[in-house]
A and B are shown apart, each in its own frame.
Chain A
Amino acid sequence: GAVVSQHPSRVICKSGTSVKIECRSLDFQATTMFWYRQFPKQSLMLMATSNEGSKATYEQGVEKDKFLINHASLTLSTLTVTSAHPEDSSFYICSAASLLHTDTQYFGPGTRLTVL
């Protein structure tokens, strides 16, 4: 089956710093990747849709200048949380759609971000 990885799995940073999270499709090419945020005991909320070679599409209420997304290749999308604050602490999960398996999104294992 299709495998999506994320790195790092867990990160702790100081307030005001930036954090980069990588999402990789390991055995398939993904023209489209999605970034979700999940707060404790809550559902997954879509932040943005990342398309290879073009600008990401952000959901309403998500600051594009704070959450920078780059999808430079068919296997890698990155999310950078700039000037992180404690309220940005959350579980960030990416998913990827496969050109061969267009019916399904495959989720990464998630990144636990804690901002002190």
Chain B
Amino acid sequence: GENVEQHPSTLSVQEGDSAVIKCTYSDSASNYFPWYKQELGKRPQLIIDIRSNVGEKKDQRIAVTLNKTAKHFSLHITETQPEDSAVYFCAASRGTGFQKLVFGTGTRLLVSP
């Protein structure tokens, strides 16, 4: 089955810096890669996603890149703010929302003022 690895497990940056979180996946049939932000005790919130027919997607300060050949995808957050502090999870699935998501292990991002 699918296995998703995520690095780093923790990431501390200063406000205004950029943050990059990387994930690799094993299942070549995976074609949908969402990123979730989870605050303590809350539900995961979808922040951006990408499909395998696209190499990069951007939404304001957040961008995701995908390298299908290498089976890795990354989350880039620019101009970080303290409110970006949370745990971020990458995930992979074989297609639509009806397919199960396999989550990475999570990255705890801390943005210091």
Residues in chain A within 8 A of chain B (CB atoms): 31-32, 34, 42-46, 49, 91, 93, 95, 97-98, 101-105, 107-110, 112
B interface, how many residues as a size bin?
A: 20 to 34
Nearest to A46 among chain B residues (CB) is: B100
Distance in angstroms from B26 CB to nearest chain A CB is 16
Residues in chain B within 8 A of chain A (CB atoms): 32, 34, 36, 41-46, 49, 89, 96-98, 100-106
A97 touches B96 (CB 8 A): yes
Chain A contacts for B43, CB-based, 8 A: 93, 107-110
Nearest to A108 among chain B residues (CB) is: B43
**Bound Cα distance A107, B89 (Å):** 14
**Bound Cα distance A112, B46 (Å):** 21
**Bound Cα distance A108, B32 (Å):** 21
Chain A contacts for B101, CB-based, 8 A: 34, 44, 46, 95, 105
